[in-house]
Amino acid sequence: MQGLRVSSPAEPLRRAIRDDGYVYLPQLLPEGEIRPIIGSLQEALHGVGWLADPTARDVPPGSALRFTSDSFREVYPVVQRLEAFHQLAFAPRLLSVMEDLLEEEIFCHPAKVLRLAPPTPPDKAYSTGPHQDFVRLHVTSDVLTAWTCLTDCSPSCQGLRILAESHRGGFLGTDDTLTGTLPVYVRVSPDDHRWMTADYRIGDVVVFHSLTVHAGGPNRTNALRFSADVRYQRSSEPLRSEWAHPHGWPITPDWPELTRGWATGDWVRLPAGVQLVPMPAGITYAEYVATLSAPPSRLLGY
């Protein structure tokens, strides 16, 4: 598999993401600022039985962990309640990258995805299947995801995979034979020569466009892999209403419950004036996705 190209500090980031669909920024965030968050995650997940020890990421022996409606109701809230996790999205160095790329006033989506990748079953090639983020965001093309590594990765515990130059094909639709809870995945062989990844370290960040196909590599260890997906866009462009709520809502509790006891709710508050667009009524998600096309992208130039 190819290695991701590291973005040079002297290289214009907008050109890199226009050409490649991503920018790879090793050690953008200091590991020392992330380690306390990882410690809090481990303590919280040990408390709900997802880790064998509060000081490590090993899963309990014989466990078969996976995300279901029950997991989003009983497990996910304990990590979504961590104020420091949401605050991480506002790290000055990360915000500076996003402002440089989007060239306008921006905001961070209140919904932030904390990916907890359990050991991948032997018959599965991915921890998260190939998809484009636009299939879930589907209002504005120029939404950028900052994938932040919270676990050192290796060939046995892989992190984010990027499908090289896949952003150039626009919105690809979905393969209905790959449906999970919602039809979001595209069919790409795990052996496709276009896949790119890296042996990430804690604090590495990959920023990619909503039309870039990506996936989670398999986790062949006996430990959870942690990473974060945080999304940013221009304040002048609309947001799908559900992303103003926590990830997993309405199964995951809403902000009044999750933010109880926080020092501030600013980390999950939308700026004034952002237009919220609800899902159309009277149509299934599969029917809606079949009608989707991506609006023109100012960032990509088409």
Confidence of residue 212 (pLDDT cuts 50, 70, 90): very high
**Among 2, 5, 1, CA closest to 207:** 5
Provide the whole-model pTM: 0.96
Query: Residue 26 burial by CB count (10 A; 0-12/13-18/19+): exposed, middle or buried?
Result: middle
Q: What is the pLDDT of residue 65?
A: 84
Give the number of other CB atoms < 10 A from CB of residue 206. Answer: 28
Q: What is the pLDDT of residue 179?
A: 65
Measure the CA–CA gap between 208 and 205, rounded to whole angstroms. 10
Query: Which spans in 75-203 are helix H?
Result: 76-80, 83-87, 92-102, 134-137
Q: What is the pLDDT of residue 180?
A: 65
Q: What is the pLDDT of residue 71?
A: 81
Confidence of residue 64 (pLDDT cuts 50, 70, 90): confident
What is the mean predicted confidence (pLDDT) over 26-34? 96
| Domain residue extents for the chain | 2-289
What is the mean predicted confidence (pLDDT) over 207-229? 97
Measure the CA–CA gap between 148 and 208, rounded to whole angstroms. 11
Q: 109 Cβ partners below 8 Å, 6+ apart? A: 143, 230, 231, 232, 233, 239, 243, 244
Measure the CA–CA gap between 71 and 73, rounded to whole angstroms. 5
What is the mean predicted confidence (pLDDT) over 167-191? 87
Measure the CA–CA gap between 220 and 118, rounded to whole angstroms. 9
The CATH number fitting domain 2-289, selected from 2.60.120.10, 2.60.320.10, 1.10.760.10, 2.60.120.620:
2.60.120.620
